[in-house]
Structure 1
Amino acid sequence: MASKRILKELKDLQKDPPVSCSAGPVAGGHVPLAGDIMGPADSPFAGGVFLVTIHYPPDYPFKPPKVSFRTKVFHPNINSNGSICLDILKEQWSPALTISKVLLSICSLLTDPNPDDPLVPEIAHMYKTDRAKYESTARSWTQKYAMG
């Protein structure tokens, strides 16, 4: 079930890729996938290309994929290991969701962090109390780690 579903999602992704995201097989196989997320234009991540890895569990789509950033990103919901705190990758997962929708949700998380459910409390605190400092730090990390 999982591999048929994954192959279908890959075909759909290549036919109709979500805006500013892409994903495809890692060389030589189809699991895990490697994805790219372009930093949204209206965010401090604009101009960056962020690499993600997508691991599918054996019981996908009944369990969510594990998505993690391989590019360092300064964000309250993404930690230094690349783990992402996003409800649809945890308790809000539904088998109706696809990797395309997951990538789009990660894009919107970059634009609209959730500082009330942070993985990195210090960054969440900065986001809430000194937005200008948060944005300039996020911009400088983007230039350092996500712009080649």
Structure 2
Amino acid sequence: MAATRRLQKELVDIQKKIDAKTISYCKRVTTDDNILLWHCLIVPTKMPFKEGQFLIDIAFPAEYPFKPPKITFKTPIYHPNVDEKGQVCLPIISAENWKPAVKTDQVMQSLVDLVDEPEPDHPLRADIAEEYVKNRERFDKKALELVKQHAHDKAK
């Protein structure tokens, strides 16, 4: 079980960084009895998303690191690159871009970068991408409303 060994090491490394406060993009990582499923609390840094924290699941295939993980937002988010089911379009974990040397903390950092800087040219939700481009003020307002309704409190 190469995946299990690698994920246990990555989890320990990430937890050390969280405890030492050397990473700011993630506040918490937990697993149940299954090391192939991580529950993470990510922390965006730019408005309108920086007002909250977002729960995501990272599901690793048994073939990890030779196949990429899958990320799902559990906290609703108003974002052009995240669909209604919480699925995210993240280039670093696409099948054609995935490299086994990529670590999970790099994936999480890329995810937070995408949340902070949406890519409207590669949307999962074209209507939100169009609003982001054509009426940024309205996009920011709607996104902030959803953050206040659903995101975890930043103070916790």
Match of 2:150 in 1: 145
The runs of at least 4 aligned residues of structure 1 exceeding 6 Å deviation read: none
Instruction: Supply the AA of the counterpart residue of 2:146.
Output: W
Q: TM-score, normalised by structure 2?
A: 0.89
- Is the CA contact (8 Å cut-off) linking 2:25 and 2:108 kept in structure 1? no
Residues in 2 aligned to 1:23 and 1:132: alpha-carbon distance in whole angstroms? 31
Instruction: Supply the AA of the counterpart residue of 2:33.
Output: G
Instruction: Supply the AA of the counterpart residue of 2:16.
Output: K
Match of 2:12 in 1: 11
Instruction: Supply the AA of the counterpart residue of 1:30.
Output: I
Residues in 1 aligned to 2:34 and 2:90: alpha-carbon distance in whole angstroms? 27
Match of 1:131 in 2: 136
Computed over aligned residues only, the root mean square deviation of the Cα atoms, in angstroms, reads 1.3
Q: TM-score, normalised by structure 1?
A: 0.93
Instruction: Supply the AA of the counterpart residue of 1:135.
Output: D
Match of 2:30 in 1: 25
Secondary structure of residue in 2 paired with 1:46 = helix
Instruction: Supply the AA of the counterpart residue of 1:110.
Output: V
Structure 2, unmatched stretches of 5+, are: none
Structure 1, unmatched stretches of 5+, are: none
Pairing 1:115-126 to 2, within 5 Å after superposition? 115-126=120-131
**Alignment of 1:52 onto 2:56:** yes
Identity %: 35
